[in-house]
């Protein structure tokens, strides 16, 4: 294994696994597998990039550091030459969050400075310009992410945000340097390291910028960012003659299907509205769940009664409704209860024969795949930017799509079920 990724949630893990497997059109990518948590055994033979999916985005920093260092030790044990710490392209965290602490802990363990911090993912509308993070044409704090139920993003200046979390000085490389190519970018990173900067925010507004940053990181031990940061990494190993470059595997899994949506993002709510016009849907009554009146058996019965009709179960709600529920029941209690409900539902659905499963939301996806205990996932074709087909061969097989809340076109759910079936 050459590249090892530590991802702070499960949808983000599949996102960057997709980037590594796909590579650039002219070269291809790396043979990539996604692991659900830190594996107890070695990776399968022939894997060139391994992505360890953690559920650490919203947990205390000390716990996130422990989990991430455990993943790092396993990846280094597999022979990885380069480590990538992958977090959300909208930098989901709070002032007390763990992106900075985890990145610093990894850097200290590896003995490196001048480490790239770049959440940009232009294909999904996330860009960093003069240290400010944009979602399409809106600053991060005006994009709807300021209403995130767990990690409200209220400051678009990633330099300032990271300084609140980091112990050491934070550096910055502006777009004017990045656009000049890998050489100037590499020089700027080395200068930052020489002046004591452990972490360095780097601008990127196009895929070409990300490729340039990736090229500048050839041979470095640690890179951090959103999935886009991996665009230029496979080519470094291909150019060095260490791998030949491959294309994504083709997946075709038919059989009963279900869609579970726990994200409250604007994109997911739009996808739910679109799907509701064409297919059977069930809105979860969260108050009833909190009272113990709605159970996984109720949700499973709905899916079984609508087999073949692309049934969707969702807890997605407006910011006002989310605030109301959190005010009554408590933010963490609501999140944990819904995660447990989705996990139990998914477990029962798969044991009952569901073979195609689409999940929307990072926390929801983490709960679902942890409950299913699927082991390594192979990476298939891309459904929408940042969302690949995933397949677990050991139990069926089972094909999955794990969608970050804000990703995907309006018709994503229909499209995903078709791609999982190889159509």
Looking at 193, 211, 239, the residue that finishes a domain is: 239
* 125 and 29 belong to one structural domain: yes
Domain enclosing residue 203, as ranges: 3-239
Q: Which neighbouring-strand residues pair with 384?
A: 387
* 216 and 306 belong to one structural domain: no
HSE toward the beta carbon, residue 56, CA cutoff 13 A: 30
Mean pLDDT of 259-286: 95
Q: How confident is the model at residue 256 (pLDDT cuts 50, 70, 90)?
A: very high
Helices (H), 25-98: 61-77
Looking at 239, 274, 289, the residue that finishes a domain is: 239
Q: In this predicted structure, what is the pLDDT of residue 10?
A: 87
Lowest model confidence (mean pLDDT) among 68-72, 92-96, 164-168, 295-299: 92-96
Q: Residue 416 domain-assigned? A: yes
Q: How confident is the model at residue 395 (pLDDT cuts 50, 70, 90)?
A: low
56 compared with 66, residue with greater pLDDT: 66
In the chain, how many domains are there? 2
Q: In this predicted structure, what is the pLDDT of residue 404?
A: 86
Query: What DSSP letter does each residue of 79-132 carry, written as one string?
Result: T-SEEEEE--TT----TT-SHHHHHHHHHHHHT--SEEEE--BGGGTEEEETTE
| CATH number where 369 lies | 3.40.980.20
CA 327, 328, 333, 338 torsion: positive or negative? negative
Q: In this predicted structure, what is the pLDDT of residue 236?
A: 98
Q: In this predicted structure, what is the pLDDT of residue 274?
A: 98
* 58 and 103 belong to one structural domain: yes
* 294 and 227 belong to one structural domain: no
Q: How confident is the model at residue 181 (pLDDT cuts 50, 70, 90)?
A: very high
Q: How confident is the model at residue 155 (pLDDT cuts 50, 70, 90)?
A: confident
Q: In this predicted structure, what is the pLDDT of residue 423?
A: 83
* 33 and 108 belong to one structural domain: yes
Q: In this predicted structure, what is the pLDDT of residue 161?
A: 87
Q: What is the DSSP letter of 17?
A: H
Q: Residue 382 domain-assigned? A: no
pLDDT tens figures, 104-131: 999 999 999 999 999 999 988 999 999 9
pLDDT tens figures, 183-214: 999 999 999 999 999 999 999 999 999 999 99
- Can you read off the two tokens belonging to residue 208? 């070409």
Q: Which of 6-15, 273-282, 326-335 has the highest mean pLDDT?
A: 273-282
pTM above 0.95, yes or no: no
Q: In this predicted structure, what is the pLDDT of residue 219?
A: 96
The mean pLDDT value of the chain amounts to 93
Looking at 239, 268, 287, the residue that finishes a domain is: 239
Residues 6+ apart with CB under 8 A from 183: 216
Q: Residue 246 domain-assigned? A: no
Q: In this predicted structure, what is the pLDDT of residue 231?
A: 96
- pLDDT of 65 higher than 80: yes
Q: In this predicted structure, what is the pLDDT of residue 374?
A: 85
Total count of residues recorded for the chain: 423
Q: Residue 252 domain-assigned? A: no
Mean pLDDT of 301-321: 95
Question: Between the CA atoms of 284, 288, 292 and 298, what dihedral angle is there, to the nearest 10 degrees?
Answer: -40
Q: Residue 353 domain-assigned? A: yes
* 317 and 414 belong to one structural domain: yes
Alpha-carbon distance of 37 to 26, in angstroms, equals 32
CB-count burial class (<10 Å; 0-12, 13-18, 19+) for 266: middle
Q: In this predicted structure, what is the pLDDT of residue 148?
A: 64
* 66 and 142 belong to one structural domain: yes
Q: How confident is the model at residue 102 (pLDDT cuts 50, 70, 90)?
A: very high
CB-count burial class (<10 Å; 0-12, 13-18, 19+) for 378: buried
| CATH number where 230 lies | 3.40.50.10840
pLDDT tens figures, 332-365: 899 999 999 999 999 999 999 999 999 999 889 9
Lowest model confidence (mean pLDDT) among 306-310, 318-322, 417-421: 318-322
* 218 and 292 belong to one structural domain: no
pLDDT tens figures, 73-91: 999 999 999 999 999 887 7
* 194 and 331 belong to one structural domain: no
* 233 and 280 belong to one structural domain: no
Q: What is the DSSP letter of 410?
A: T
The percentage of the chain sitting over the pLDDT mark of 90, rounded to a whole number, equals: 76
Q: In this predicted structure, what is the pLDDT of residue 223?
A: 99
* 271 and 324 belong to one structural domain: yes
Q: Residue 379 domain-assigned? A: no
Tokens 């079936």 identify what position? Answer: 421
Q: How confident is the model at residue 30 (pLDDT cuts 50, 70, 90)?
A: very high
* 177 and 307 belong to one structural domain: no
- pLDDT of 96 higher than 80: no
Q: In this predicted structure, what is the pLDDT of residue 47?
A: 95
Q: In this predicted structure, what is the pLDDT of residue 58?
A: 82
Q: Residue 383 domain-assigned? A: no
Q: Residue 275 domain-assigned? A: yes
Q: In this predicted structure, what is the pLDDT of residue 150?
A: 64
């Amino acid at each position: 294994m050459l590249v090892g990724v530590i991802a702070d949630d499960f949808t983000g893990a599949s996102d960057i696994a997709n980037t590594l497997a796909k590579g650039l059109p002219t070269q291809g990518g790396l043979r990539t597998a996604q692991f659900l948590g830190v594996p107890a055994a070695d990776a399968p033979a022939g894997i060139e990039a391994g992505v360890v999916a953690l559920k650490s985005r919203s947990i205390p920093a000390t716990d996130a550091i422990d989990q991430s260092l455990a993943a790092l030790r396993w990846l280094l044990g597999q022979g990885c030459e380069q480590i990538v710490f992958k977090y959300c392209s909208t930098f989901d965290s709070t002032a007390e969050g763990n992106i900075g602490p985890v990145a610093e802990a990894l850097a200290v363990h590896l003995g490196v400075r001048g480490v790239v911090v770049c959440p940009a993912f232009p294909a999904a509308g996330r860009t960093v310009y003069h240290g400010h993070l944009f979602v399409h044409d809106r600053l991060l704090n005006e994009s709807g992410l300021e209403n995130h139920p767990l990690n409200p993003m209220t400051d678009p200046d990633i330099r300032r945000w990271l300084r609140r979390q980091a112990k050491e000085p934070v550096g910055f490389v502006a777009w004017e340097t990045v656009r000049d190519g890998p050489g100037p970018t590499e020089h700027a990173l080395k200068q930052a390291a020489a002046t004591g900067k452990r972490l360095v925010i780097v601008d990127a507004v196009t895929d070409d910028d990300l490729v340039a940053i990736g090229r500048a990181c050839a041979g470095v031990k640690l890179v951090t960012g959103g999935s886009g940061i991996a665009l230029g990494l496979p080519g470094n190993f291909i150019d060095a003659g260490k791998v030949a470059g491959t294309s994504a595997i083709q997946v075709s899994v038919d059989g009963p299907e279900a869609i579970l949506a726990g994200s409250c993002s604007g994109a997911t709510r739009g996808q739910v509205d679109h799907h509701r016009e064409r297919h059977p849907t069930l809105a979860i009554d969260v108050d009833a769940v909190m009272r113990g009146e709605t159970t996984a058996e109720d949700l499973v019965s709905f899916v079984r009664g609508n087999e073949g009709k692309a049934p969707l179960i969702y807890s997605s709600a407006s910011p006002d409704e989310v605030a109301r529920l959190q005010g009554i029941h408590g933010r963490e209690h609501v999140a944990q209860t819904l995660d447990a409900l989705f996990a139990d539902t998914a477990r029962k659905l798969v044991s009952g024969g569901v073979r195609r499963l689409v999940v929307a939301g990072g926390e929801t996806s983490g709960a679902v795949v942890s409950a299913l205990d699927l082991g390594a996932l192979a990476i298939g074709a891309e459904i929408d930017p940042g969302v690949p087909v995933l397949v677990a061969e050991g139990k069926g097989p089972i094909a999955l799509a794990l969608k970050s809340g804000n990703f995907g076109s309006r018709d994503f759910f229909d499209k995903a079920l078709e791609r999982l079936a190889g159509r």
